[in-house]
Amino acid sequence: MKWHTIPTWQMRRSAINHNWLQNQYLVFLLALLEYSSHGFVEEVFEAEVVNQLIQWLHHRKDVETLIDTVDEMSPREVIQTEAGICIPDADRAWLGEVAHRCWSHRFGIQDLVDHAKAQIAAADEAYDALVAAISFDPSAVKHWEAVASMVRGLHGACFELSQAISRLPSHVEIT
Protein backbone atom coordinates (compact mmCIF):
# COMPACT_ATOMS: atom_id res chain seq x y z
CA MET A 1 0.00 0.00 0.00
CA LYS A 2 1.31 3.42 -0.91
CA TRP A 3 0.63 6.20 1.54
CA HIS A 4 -0.88 9.17 -0.29
CA THR A 5 0.40 12.08 1.75
CA ILE A 6 3.47 13.93 0.54
CA PRO A 7 6.08 13.77 3.29
CA THR A 8 8.38 16.73 3.86
CA TRP A 9 11.31 14.55 2.77
CA GLN A 10 9.69 14.00 -0.60
CA MET A 11 9.22 17.74 -1.08
CA ARG A 12 12.88 18.37 -0.14
CA ARG A 13 13.96 15.62 -2.54
CA SER A 14 12.00 17.24 -5.34
CA ALA A 15 13.38 20.71 -4.57
CA ILE A 16 16.97 19.52 -4.35
CA ASN A 17 17.17 16.86 -7.04
CA HIS A 18 14.64 17.99 -9.61
CA ASN A 19 14.37 21.76 -9.18
CA TRP A 20 18.00 22.56 -8.40
CA LEU A 21 20.37 19.73 -9.41
CA GLN A 22 18.68 18.54 -12.61
CA ASN A 23 16.98 21.71 -13.86
CA GLN A 24 19.53 24.30 -12.79
CA TYR A 25 23.01 23.01 -12.02
CA LEU A 26 23.29 20.26 -14.63
CA VAL A 27 21.71 22.53 -17.24
CA PHE A 28 24.20 25.29 -16.33
CA LEU A 29 27.16 22.90 -16.69
CA LEU A 30 25.96 21.69 -20.09
CA ALA A 31 25.31 25.25 -21.24
CA LEU A 32 28.75 26.25 -20.03
CA LEU A 33 30.34 23.46 -22.06
CA GLU A 34 28.36 24.42 -25.14
CA TYR A 35 28.93 28.15 -24.76
CA SER A 36 32.62 27.81 -24.07
CA SER A 37 33.16 25.36 -26.92
CA HIS A 38 32.58 28.33 -29.21
CA GLY A 39 35.11 30.43 -27.31
CA PHE A 40 32.54 32.77 -25.77
CA VAL A 41 33.69 33.47 -22.25
CA GLU A 42 33.57 37.19 -21.65
CA GLU A 43 34.35 39.10 -18.47
CA VAL A 44 30.66 39.67 -17.76
CA PHE A 45 30.06 35.97 -18.25
CA GLU A 46 33.00 35.05 -15.99
CA ALA A 47 31.26 36.46 -12.90
CA GLU A 48 28.13 34.46 -13.74
CA VAL A 49 30.19 31.30 -14.20
CA VAL A 50 31.67 31.71 -10.74
CA ASN A 51 28.26 32.52 -9.22
CA GLN A 52 26.74 29.42 -10.78
CA LEU A 53 29.66 27.13 -9.94
CA ILE A 54 29.56 28.01 -6.25
CA GLN A 55 25.94 26.93 -6.08
CA TRP A 56 27.40 23.50 -5.36
CA LEU A 57 28.70 24.87 -2.06
CA HIS A 58 25.34 26.45 -1.26
CA HIS A 59 23.36 23.25 -1.89
CA ARG A 60 25.81 20.51 -0.94
CA LYS A 61 24.74 20.38 2.73
CA ASP A 62 21.09 20.14 1.66
CA VAL A 63 21.96 17.17 -0.55
CA GLU A 64 23.83 15.48 2.28
CA THR A 65 21.02 16.14 4.76
CA LEU A 66 18.48 14.73 2.33
CA ILE A 67 20.44 11.51 2.00
CA ASP A 68 21.04 11.28 5.75
CA THR A 69 17.31 11.60 6.47
CA VAL A 70 15.96 9.05 3.98
CA ASP A 71 14.54 7.11 6.94
CA GLU A 72 11.72 9.68 6.92
CA MET A 73 10.36 7.59 4.02
CA SER A 74 10.28 4.49 6.20
CA PRO A 75 6.89 2.92 6.92
CA ARG A 76 7.85 3.32 10.58
CA GLU A 77 7.08 7.03 10.20
CA VAL A 78 3.56 6.28 8.98
CA ILE A 79 2.96 3.76 11.75
CA GLN A 80 4.16 6.29 14.34
CA THR A 81 1.82 8.98 12.97
CA GLU A 82 -1.34 9.13 10.83
CA ALA A 83 -1.98 5.56 9.74
CA GLY A 84 -0.79 4.11 13.01
CA ILE A 85 -3.49 5.73 15.05
CA CYS A 86 -5.55 2.55 14.91
CA ILE A 87 -2.65 0.47 16.29
CA PRO A 88 -2.48 0.18 20.08
CA ASP A 89 0.34 2.21 21.63
CA ALA A 90 1.96 -0.93 23.04
CA ASP A 91 2.30 -2.40 19.54
CA ARG A 92 3.12 0.75 17.60
CA ALA A 93 6.80 0.94 18.62
CA TRP A 94 7.77 -2.64 17.91
CA LEU A 95 5.63 -2.86 14.76
CA GLY A 96 7.18 0.35 13.45
CA GLU A 97 10.67 -1.00 14.06
CA VAL A 98 9.90 -4.32 12.33
CA ALA A 99 8.35 -2.48 9.37
CA HIS A 100 11.41 -0.22 9.17
CA ARG A 101 13.87 -3.13 9.19
CA CYS A 102 11.89 -4.99 6.52
CA TRP A 103 11.67 -1.85 4.36
CA SER A 104 15.37 -1.11 4.78
CA HIS A 105 16.37 -4.66 3.90
CA ARG A 106 13.89 -5.13 1.07
CA PHE A 107 14.85 -1.93 -0.74
CA GLY A 108 18.58 -2.00 0.13
CA ILE A 109 18.35 1.43 1.73
CA GLN A 110 21.82 1.38 3.27
CA ASP A 111 23.42 0.47 -0.07
CA LEU A 112 21.49 3.27 -1.77
CA VAL A 113 22.57 5.75 0.91
CA ASP A 114 26.21 4.62 0.72
CA HIS A 115 26.18 4.95 -3.06
CA ALA A 116 24.64 8.44 -2.90
CA LYS A 117 27.25 9.52 -0.35
CA ALA A 118 30.00 8.20 -2.63
CA GLN A 119 28.51 10.33 -5.43
CA ILE A 120 28.62 13.40 -3.18
CA ALA A 121 32.30 12.70 -2.58
CA ALA A 122 32.88 12.33 -6.34
CA ALA A 123 31.10 15.62 -7.02
CA ASP A 124 33.14 17.30 -4.27
CA GLU A 125 36.35 16.02 -5.83
CA ALA A 126 35.35 17.16 -9.33
CA TYR A 127 34.23 20.56 -8.02
CA ASP A 128 37.45 21.05 -6.04
CA ALA A 129 39.60 20.12 -9.04
CA LEU A 130 37.75 22.57 -11.27
CA VAL A 131 37.88 25.39 -8.74
CA ALA A 132 41.58 24.74 -8.08
CA ALA A 133 42.33 24.92 -11.80
CA ILE A 134 40.47 28.19 -12.15
CA SER A 135 41.91 29.62 -8.92
CA PHE A 136 45.44 28.63 -9.87
CA ASP A 137 45.13 30.40 -13.20
CA PRO A 138 42.36 33.02 -13.28
CA SER A 139 42.85 33.38 -17.03
CA ALA A 140 41.76 29.74 -17.34
CA VAL A 141 38.19 31.03 -17.21
CA LYS A 142 38.85 32.63 -20.60
CA HIS A 143 40.30 29.39 -21.96
CA TRP A 144 37.70 26.83 -21.05
CA GLU A 145 39.10 24.28 -23.44
CA ALA A 146 41.87 23.82 -20.86
CA VAL A 147 39.38 22.92 -18.15
CA ALA A 148 36.51 21.52 -20.23
CA SER A 149 37.31 17.98 -19.13
CA MET A 150 36.96 19.12 -15.50
CA VAL A 151 33.59 20.70 -16.26
CA ARG A 152 32.54 17.44 -17.93
CA GLY A 153 33.81 15.59 -14.85
CA LEU A 154 31.73 17.76 -12.54
CA HIS A 155 28.70 17.34 -14.78
CA GLY A 156 29.17 13.56 -14.81
CA ALA A 157 29.57 13.40 -11.02
CA CYS A 158 26.51 15.58 -10.45
CA PHE A 159 24.51 13.53 -12.97
CA GLU A 160 25.45 10.32 -11.14
CA LEU A 161 24.50 11.97 -7.85
CA SER A 162 21.12 12.91 -9.28
CA GLN A 163 20.62 9.33 -10.43
CA ALA A 164 21.58 8.06 -6.96
CA ILE A 165 19.04 10.40 -5.35
CA SER A 166 16.44 9.25 -7.87
CA ARG A 167 16.98 5.65 -6.74
CA LEU A 168 16.11 6.56 -3.15
CA PRO A 169 12.48 5.87 -2.15
CA SER A 170 9.99 8.11 -3.89
CA HIS A 171 7.04 7.24 -1.68
CA VAL A 172 6.22 5.60 1.61
CA GLU A 173 5.26 2.01 0.97
CA ILE A 174 3.91 -0.52 3.42
CA THR A 175 3.95 -4.04 2.04
**pLDDT value for 64:** 96
**pLDDT value for 137:** 58
**pLDDT value for 88:** 85
Give dist(CA 75, CA 101) in Å, integer.
10
Residues 6+ apart with CB under 8 A from 25: 52, 55, 56, 59, 158
**pLDDT value for 2:** 47
**pLDDT value for 142:** 56
Q: What share of the chain in percent tops pLDDT 70?
A: 80
**pLDDT value for 149:** 84
What value does the mean pLDDT take over residues 138-159? 77
Of 48 and 175, more confident: 48
Reported as a single tens digit per residue, the pLDDT across 8-39 is 888 899 999 999 999 999 999 998 888 766 66
